[in-house]
């Protein structure tokens, strides 16, 4: 539950950052300043992703690895591989 609270708090902050970026665009702010804010927001989203992934690994993955269902183990491990692959395509 603590992970969900951390992620939710960060998402509220990110929401404010996105509104700020929109305001900067509306006010025709300096492009590099806008890009820096976008990068900071992307970094914050990456942190949320990390929090959610850590929670998943400590809960779902460990449960699947310790369990008796080989198909479930393979499914969970495949999901992790897919997430990693998608993250490295940036």
Expressed in percent and rounded to 5, the helix, strand and coil fractions of the chain are 90, 0, 10
> CA 13, 15, 19, 24 torsion: positive or negative?
positive
Q: How far is CA 36 from the centre of its chain?
A: 19
Question: What's the mean pLDDT in 20-31?
Answer: 98
- Nearest-CA neighbor of 61 among 47, 46, 80? 80
Domain extent at residue 78: 2-87
Residue 46 is part of a domain; what is its CATH number?
Answer: 1.20.58.1000
pLDDT in tens, 53-72: 999 999 989 999 899 999 99
Model pLDDT, residue 49: 93
Q: Angle, to 10 degrees, between the axis of helix 2-26 and the axis of helix 31-56?
A: 170
Domains identified in the chain, total number: 1
């Amino acid at each position: 539950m603590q992970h969900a609270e951390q992620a939710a708090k960060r998402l509220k902050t990110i929401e404010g950052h996105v509104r700020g970026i929109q305001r900067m665009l509306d006010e025709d702010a300096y492009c590099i300043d806008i890009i820096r804010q976008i990068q900071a927001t992307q970094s914050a989203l990456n942190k949320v992703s990390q929090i959610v992934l850590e929670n998943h690994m400590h809960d779902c993955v460990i449960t699947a690895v310790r369990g008796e269902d080989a198909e479930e183990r393979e499914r969970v491990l495949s999901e992790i591989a897919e997430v990693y692959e998608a993250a490295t395509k940036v």
